Copies of this chain bind each other. A is one copy, B any other.
Amino acid sequence: MLLISYFEPFGRDPLNSTEVICEEIKRVRRDVQFVKLPTVFYESGTVLTSLIKEVNPDTVIMLGQAGGRAAITPEMVALNWIDARIKDNRGQKPIDKKIVEGGPAAYFSTLPVRKIVEALTKGGIPARVSYSAGTFVCNALFYQVMHFIIENRYQIKAGFVHFPYLSGQVLYREEAPSLDLAKSIEGLNLIIELMEGSL
């Protein structure tokens, strides 16, 4: 079973592209379990790891919005580090802090990052491998989940994929790149199909 997490809006954004995409796709993808996470350090990880324990998925795909990027970007690496430039949705803004004291510096994604990029590109959707998931809540969630899976020796594939702004989000921020909702949904569908082995 495939478990996909997405985030609520954060910062000054009234929307989070991954929420809009997943709200659409979950109506037709009844085989996939979706969960919305709070954009809050640690709490997002606690919610998702609890759910992983409960539903025992084969694969976990965490989604997040990367405003300013022009392509869908599967993340290669989760970094054991927090350096928040803005507040999370509980008003926390931690700086220069490990996510897991004593944990390794980083975990690699166990999703087939290159294959995801190739499948998207073949499907006509801008995509590239990213080597930095940032140092905010997205990366912290990614690290917490990888650490949880590895510490507990679960046989679960997991990784993080960043999505650009949707076109509708940049109407008053016109220099920012965006990806159309239809293409974004198509992109997430391709990733799901790839992970389910139906691609």
Contact = CB atoms under 8 A, between A and B. Distances in A.
Interface stretch (A6-14, A48-56, A100-108, A155-163): A100-108
Given A180-B183, A183-B167, A126 B174 contact: yes
A83 B70 CA distance: 20
A145 interface: no
Interface stretch (A15-23, A28-36, A39-47, A128-136): A128-136
Contact of A77 (B79, B124, B128, B134): B79
A26 interface: no
Interface string A54-85: 00000000000000001100001101010100
Contacts of A131: 79, 81, 83, 132, 134-135
A164 to B, nearest CB: 9
Interface in A142-187: 167-168, 170-172, 174-180, 182-183
Nearest to A182: B182
A121 interface: yes
Main secondary structure of the interface of A (DSSP, over half): loop
B106 A77 contact: yes
A127 B167 CA distance: 10
Given A105-B108, A134-B131, A167 B124 contact: yes
B178 A126 contact: yes
Contact of A83 (B104, B106, B129, B174): B129
15 contacts: A70-B170, A70-B177, A71-B170, A71-B175, A77-B81, A81-B131, A83-B129, A106-B106, A125-B167, A125-B171, A127-B171, A177-B177, A177-B178, A180-B180, A180-B182
Interface of A: 70-71, 76-77, 79, 81, 83, 96, 104-108, 114, 121, 124-129, 131-132, 134-135, 167-168, 170-172, 174-180, 182-183
